[in-house]
Amino acid sequence: MDGETWPARPTERKTLKPLDERPDEKPPLSHGSQDKSQELQGLESILPSCFLKSKPERQELAFRCSPEASIHYPAGKDRLSLASEGECWLFKSGSFKEFGCQMSPKKLLRTKLPTVSPPEVWSRPPPSGARTRARTLPATGSELPRPLSLPAAQERGTEPPPPPHGELQYLGQIKHILRCSSRKDDRMGTGTLSVFSMQARYSLRDEFPLLTTKRVFWEDVLEGLLWFIKGSTNAKELSSKGVKIWDASGSRDFLDSLGFSTRAGDLGPVYGFQWRHFGAEYKDMDSDYSGEGVDQLQKVTDTIKTNPNDRIVIMCAWNPKDLALTALPPCPALCQFYVVNGELSCQLYEWSGDMGLGMPFNIASYSLLTYMIAHITGLKPGDFVHTLGDAHIYMNHIEPLKMQLQREPRPFLKLKILQKVEKIDDFKAEDFQIEGYNPHPTIKMEMAIKSAFKGVV
């Protein structure tokens, strides 16, 4: 039965030799084998730390293993090799029925897998004698199916377990990139480890996702977002408040390198300008753009108030016409808002994700924007969904991130808006109060700065 718990089996870590180096063991049975009991025995001899259980509904073989398990499945003509270090899903085409296992640090729970289609399977076996490389999908921040481990809490007569800490998604993405990425060079010579397409979902209902495994400066997040909302492109306004995140991008040397010799501190038509004046002709940071272009942010709030079921509540910072005028292209390119059951959720698409420096800031910034819009529209915060295109770790961030992975997440903080605010432009820094932020110490990472036309962010 689904959720059936079996006696524990030791979960000692075993590393097995390739099949051709183990002459005393029988090879896995071929595609045409009819004896299913022999198939099971053959698989258990290869995977001694996992319990295998047949399911007649499907024709793939699947394993889900924790970091305690190390599995090496030998390659063969009619099957693909599988290997895992970490909590990953692996799928194999073949004639075997589906099997499943779930490893736990303390005990082994044996359970069937849900009968849903995997997001990715191999469609053909490798050539005869070929050695194939295992394909490992993201362990966290993805839409992979999860196994059913225990009956529902109400059936057991106990309280449901608390949900996993949201920060584990971010840490899991870091682990996945370190293990399963491709090396990509850039024109600045730093280099990155990169994967394509990742996603994480953070609840905003009773907490606020300001990361705790290193200190993220709340004042920088808050003042930076208020600066965006204002529509400003003047980096000196932030610098005067002690927020230095845009100083390098607005510096004389950096702007000179882009050919903007008369624009010290002027970042060009970046995020705030596109949010409030999309399509307007950009002149400089001191010009008055009142009434020019499309005020996307105001349209978002108006639509949520008047037609919350609208499916195109979208705000876009990506304007190809203006890219040549910006100090940096907008990595968080587009966000969409969604209303259901009195809750407002936001999904951000970020085409280029700097996992070490940019991600913690952007998670907090767009979560805060969701809080603010929910407040003025009479809704409650729901979820923040973060979708990444090129998710990468700069080579000089690898060791700092490994240090961060050694830390245990602490409880997320609580965010309060202290007074009723009617319009998005009326928010001030003193309207917000955070409670319970107790992060680990700061981890220093160097910022990599590149323009859209001289490298990749």
Give the DSSP per-residue string, 267-327.
--S-HHHHHHHBTPPP--TTS--TT-SB-HHHHHHHHHHH-TT-S--EEE---GGGGGG-S
Running DSSP on this structure, what letter comes out for residue 406? Answer: T
C-beta separation of 269 from 288 below 8 A:
no
Please, what is the Cα angle at 240 between 234 and 246, to 5 degrees? 50
Q: Quick one: pLDDT at residue 23?
A: 53
Distance (Å) of CA 154 to CA 111, 151, 165, 380: 19, 8, 22, 27
All domains in the chain, ordered by first residue: 1-161 (no CATH), 167-435 (3.30.572.10)
- Sorted by sequence, the CB contacts under 8 Å of residue 7 that are 6+ apart come out as none
Q: Quick one: pLDDT at residue 117?
A: 41
- Please, what is the end-to-end C-alpha distance for the chain in angstroms? 50
Instruction: Give me the count of residues in the chain.
Output: 457
Active site residues: 331
CA distance 362 to 354: 10
DSSP H or E run through 382: strand 380-394
Distance (Å) of CA 257 to CA 239, 249, 322, 457: 21, 11, 18, 16
DSSP string, 236-250: HHHHTTT--TTTTTT
CA distance 436 to 366: 20
pLDDT in tens, the chain (457 residues): 444 444 454 545 555 555 455 555 544 444 444 444 444 444 444 443 443 333 444 333 344 443 333 333 344 333 333 333 333 333 333 333 333 433 333 333 333 434 434 333 333 444 555 454 444 444 444 444 444 444 554 555 667 777 899 999 999 999 999 999 999 987 677 899 999 999 999 999 999 999 999 999 999 999 999 999 999 999 888 888 877 665 554 444 554 455 555 466 788 999 999 999 999 999 999 999 999 999 999 999 999 999 999 999 999 999 999 999 988 889 999 999 999 999 999 999 999 999 999 999 999 999 999 999 999 999 999 999 999 999 999 999 999 999 999 999 999 999 999 999 999 999 999 999 999 999 999 999 988 765 333 333 3
Q: Quick one: pLDDT at residue 77?
A: 34
Question: C-alpha dihedral over 210, 243, 254, 394, to 10 degrees?
Answer: -20
